[in-house]
Amino acid sequence: MPRPPLPIGTYGAITTQKLADGSGYRAFARFRDHDGVTRKIERTGRSATAAKNRLKEHLRDRASHGAAGSLSGESRFRVAAEKWISTIDELAAQGQRSPSTAQLYRATLTTHVLPAIGELRLGELTVPRLDKFVQDIRIHRGAATAKLARTVVSGVFGIAVRHGAITANPVRDIARITSRPARPPRALTPDERTEWIERLKADQDAVRKDLPDLCEWMLATGVRIGEALAVHWDDIDLDAGVVHVDHTVIRIKGTGLIRKSTKSLAGARTLPLPAFAIDMLRRRQLANGTRGPVFPDSIGGWRDPSNTSRDLRHARGSAEFAWVTSHVFRKTAATELDRAGLSARQIADQLGHAKVSMTQDRYMGRRAGGREAADALDRAHRAARGGGP
């Protein structure tokens, strides 16, 4: 009865022999490649043990890569990680993933993950080892970075499972990442809102950087800073009093600023505008025309959200408004809508959240905001300026 063939990607007994010239040893074994052909593979070393170890190392790598670049439990984590991040890059190129998400994942992989576990083999990365890795990041880098690293590692193991390298994703069984309870959302009070805008209008540098109108716009709509800077005059219908929010501005390393569609269906929405926002837009229209971005940079192009956030930090100073960020304007809009009696679903639609729980937990405060949202924001604006109803 013929001897059964070796399973693909495995090898038989290793034999060692002393070299004829006495300079060392050679180790050899029969290995069944991924094309089904069994070949004799050998490596040499100064001693029998060294030759044997070199051969084992080569056979492991040979089994890991295979003819089609498949993965096995002997594959290094780094190899699987490169396959995974390549799929993320492809999805981003196809518009199915945000380029900024792909950039964040790659940075996390390069900075935190690969230096710690990149050279370990998939089969060596057990639940206890991965749990310690993630908890170490939590201790030294914070819970947010640990959660991101966990997501990245889980993605890599997901592709390893799909390649048949392992049977289950071990990341699912590691401990939860604990963090400090989130601080309750803080919004500007009507008095703080008035003082903030007046402070910006009195600051020549803030006026030069167009911060007063930009802040009014975010208070009027509750949009994210990237969404605010992505608004084009073509997105605005002043006669109907609405703005179509379906893009954001981001910076991609090696590419620069790009204007891309929002990352979710919930993020694409049409918002009726409060009267004070329409008045501001008409004023800007008379002064600057209706071409290009509504809030451009100094040469008329798209404005960098990071640089704009830095400008806001400089404008707020280090005293009573040190806590104010662009997201505070978003939370202020949500809070005003909540006070006005709008439902969590209506507020979530105004902010572009798919999940109402996100709005309730982090902001309070339908893809098309209701007219009552615009009216409530207009009343809040008038009250902050000391006007009547």
Domain shared by 283 and 366, yes or no: yes
Provide the token pair at 255.
């590419």
Question: What's at 177, amino acid-wise?
Answer: I
Q: What's the pLDDT score for residue 199?
A: 92
CA–CA gap between residue 41 and residue 46 (Å, rounded): 18
If DSSP codes are grouped into helix, strand and coil, which group holds residue 69? coil
Q: How many distinct structural domains can be found in the chain? A: 3
pTM of the model: 0.65
Q: What's the pLDDT score for residue 320?
A: 84
Domain shared by 53 and 142, yes or no: no
Q: What's the pLDDT score for residue 212?
A: 95
Domain that holds residue 57: 15-63
- The CATH number for 258's domain is 1.10.443
Domain shared by 133 and 197, yes or no: no
Domain shared by 43 and 88, yes or no: no
Among residues 326, 374, 333, which one has the least CA distance to residue 211?
326
Give yes or no for a contact between 377 and 333, defined as CB atoms under 8 angstroms apart.
Answer: yes
Q: What's the pLDDT score for residue 266?
A: 67
Provide the token pair at 122.
């998939």
Considering only CA atoms, give the Rg of the chain: 29
Chain centroid to CA 130 = 22
Give yes or no for a contact between 325 and 312, defined as CB atoms under 8 angstroms apart.
Answer: yes
Helix (H) / strand (E) containing 40: strand 38-45
Domain shared by 164 and 197, yes or no: no
CA–CA gap between residue 156 and residue 355 (Å, rounded): 27
CA–CA gap between residue 120 and residue 110 (Å, rounded): 15
Tens-of-pLDDT digits for all 389 residues of the chain? 567 888 878 899 999 999 989 899 999 999 988 778 899 999 999 999 999 999 999 888 777 665 444 778 888 999 999 999 999 988 888 877 888 888 899 999 999 999 999 999 998 999 999 999 999 999 999 999 999 999 999 999 999 998 888 889 999 999 988 776 566 778 999 999 999 999 999 999 999 999 999 999 999 999 999 999 999 999 999 999 999 999 999 888 778 888 888 766 667 899 999 999 999 999 999 988 888 999 999 899 999 999 999 999 999 877 788 899 899 999 999 989 988 888 888 888 888 887 887 777 677 644 455 677 888 888 888 888 876 55
Q: Is residue 115 part of a domain?
A: yes
Q: Is residue 178 part of a domain?
A: no
Q: Is residue 222 part of a domain?
A: yes
Q: What's the pLDDT score for residue 4?
A: 80
Q: Is residue 109 part of a domain?
A: yes
Domain shared by 81 and 59, yes or no: no
Domain shared by 59 and 197, yes or no: no
Provide the token pair at 351.
């902010």
Domain shared by 148 and 287, yes or no: no
Q: What's the pLDDT score for residue 178?
A: 77
Which of 142, 173, 204 is the last residue in one of the domains? 173
CA–CA gap between residue 285 and residue 185 (Å, rounded): 34
Give yes or no for a contact between 185 and 292, defined as CB atoms under 8 angstroms apart.
Answer: no
- The CATH number for 125's domain is 1.10.150.130
Q: Is residue 91 part of a domain?
A: yes
